Amino acid sequence: MKTSPQEHSATFNEDLDLHYLELLKAKAPYEQCRRELLMLEKHWLQKAKTPAQRLAVQRIIASTLLTETYGNRLPWKEFGRWLRRIQQLGFRDLGMRVHVACLYVQSLHLFPRQAREAWAMLEDTERRAHRLRRENPLREEHLEAIAHAKKVARVGPPRLRGQ
């Protein structure tokens, strides 16, 4: 993961995109992807000038790794690790919350014991999306993503007692 002089002037997002694209093109296994993304995170944490910049780097790397664990169908040990990390760092916006909640519900077939928590997270996220103004284009986008996650989820929401 050597950087050229040109790359030093790149923003974090540009650098992440370049590295991630290289990993995808190389069809790198998850472990290599995780190692390289964590090295990239370390590099950018050293360059960060403010706590807000450090937090943004940590959130994006954790979100990217969560997406990778989903794509690689990894077990709860790894998926849960990055989910908890994102929850600990906090969601930067509703879009990140939607993304994470949808991945969580769609991956429940791998760890069905987490169904109650995952569906509760998705329901909370849906309530937040409904609170956006109707004219906000993100409202419909978020609600469509949530509806899709509900439709394709292989593990349904847990039943309440008495049903």
- Could you please report the per-residue DSSP string of 9-48? TS-HHHHHHHHHHHHHHTT--HHHHHHHHHHHHHHHHHH-
What is the pTM assigned to this prediction? Answer: 0.89
Angle formed by the axes of helices 51-71 and 76-89, nearest 10°: 160
Query: What is residue 159's predicted lDDT score, i.e. its pLDDT?
Result: 79
58 vs 44: CA distance, rounded Å: 9
Query: What is residue 1's predicted lDDT score, i.e. its pLDDT?
Result: 46
Query: What is residue 160's predicted lDDT score, i.e. its pLDDT?
Result: 56
In this prediction, the residues of the chain whose per-residue pLDDT falls under 50 are: 1-8, 161-162
CA 106 distance to own-chain centroid: 13
Token couple for 49: 């000038």
Q: What spatial distance separates the first Cα and last Cα of the chain, rounded to whole Å?
A: 55
Cβ atoms of 62 and 103 closer than 8 Å: no
Query: Any alpha helices (H) in the chain, and if so which ranges?
Result: 5-8, 12-25, 30-47, 51-71, 76-89, 94-106, 115-130, 137-152
